[in-house]
Amino acid sequence: MPKVSIILVIYNAKKFIKPVFDSIFSQTHKNFDVLAVINGSEDGSKEEIRLNYPQVRIIDPHENLWFAKGNNLGIRETDGEFVLLVNQDMVLEPDFIEKLLPAFDDWKVAAASGKILRYDFEHNQKTKIIDTVGVTMSSSGRGKDRGQLEEDRGQYENIEQVFGVSGACPMYRRSALEKVQYVEHERVEYYDEDFVAYWEDVDLSWRFNNAGMKSLYVPQAVAYHGRTAGQSKGGYLHLFHFIRHHKKISPAIRRMNYRNHILMYLKNSKFIHPLFIIREILMFGYVLVFETSTLKVLPDLFRLMPRMYKKRRAALHST
């Protein structure tokens, strides 16, 4: 029975602790350990975990490391053959791990995730609204969660190879992570820490693809995510919806989102597709008109481009 290391990055998540951790410790697969990285949390989450789940190992760096660094720290501090990253607002069905592990019988499979539906924490109930059933990637460089906001009517019931899996609840083969890791001055990165947050999960999926590995969607493994915001409908025919969606997002997150999707594409794409150029011209026009605060990220974007090419060369060399 393989060992699974379960990692949660916790940021002011006290209200989620009981349902999330109860679902973890109800798993039918029993060979696992749990590590909680306290990511600058100040609402008593650490004390809640320590009091009610003493079997959980806690690491508190006393600062907010954000998503990439927080999860990288957790991965480095664990030793399971498989790594399951669980968002702090994710409720697992009891057989989630048991149903997911057989996907890795194929040694080319680096990552897998299940059918992730939405969870309504306000009413403490599961829903039939899809959060993600795998990640797709278009020629224009737009990655998105497949099926998001659709009602689950059984339309995604087959085990399938997908471009990638969301960072909300992915399971990774540790040896696959080590194959695509980036090492600089003894610092090991699995998720790209230059991204800070957003798109690092798609970036990792792309690196798996470039290294000849696969990601699988396993519908029998079911979990529920409390995410309250998601992707827009996309496409410029849905411009009003796109603008309304973006207004709900903080300026800092919009800037990281804009910066990181460009860096990810330049870092991983084997060639620059014309549709990517067209989309970026249109997106830049949108930013100029509707979202000028995002322009503040441009110096950081250009500063990081040489590092992305350095990481790209390192990845090509390793494969």
Residue range 71-103, pLDDT digits in tens: 999 999 999 999 999 999 999 999 999 999 999
Give yes or no for a contact between 114 and 102, defined as CB atoms under 8 angstroms apart: no
Look at residue 117 and tell me if it is in a domain: no
Look at residue 127 and tell me if it is in a domain: no
Q: Is 307 buried (19+), middle (13-18) or exposed (0-12) by CB count in 10 A?
A: middle
Asked whether the predicted pLDDT for residue 55 surpasses 60, the reply is yes
Nearest to 116 by CA among 102, 134, 99: 134
Look at residue 123 and tell me if it is in a domain: no
Look at residue 208 and tell me if it is in a domain: no
Look at residue 42 and tell me if it is in a domain: no
Look at residue 313 and tell me if it is in a domain: yes
Euclidean distance between CA atoms 277 and 232, whole angstroms: 20
Euclidean distance between CA atoms 305 and 309, whole angstroms: 6
Domain count, the chain: 1
Domain with 251, as residue range(s), is 236-318
Look at residue 265 and tell me if it is in a domain: yes
Look at residue 32 and tell me if it is in a domain: no
| Contacts of residue 151, Cβ cutoff 8 Å, sequence gap at least 6 | 128, 129, 130
Q: Is 95 buried (19+), middle (13-18) or exposed (0-12) by CB count in 10 A?
A: middle
Q: Which amino acid is at 115?
A: K
Nearest to 190 by CA among 208, 172, 178: 178
pLDDT tens column, 107-143: 999 999 999 999 999 889 999 999 999 999 998 898 9
pTM of the predicted structure, to 2 decimals: 0.92
Asked whether the predicted pLDDT for residue 246 surpasses 80, the reply is no
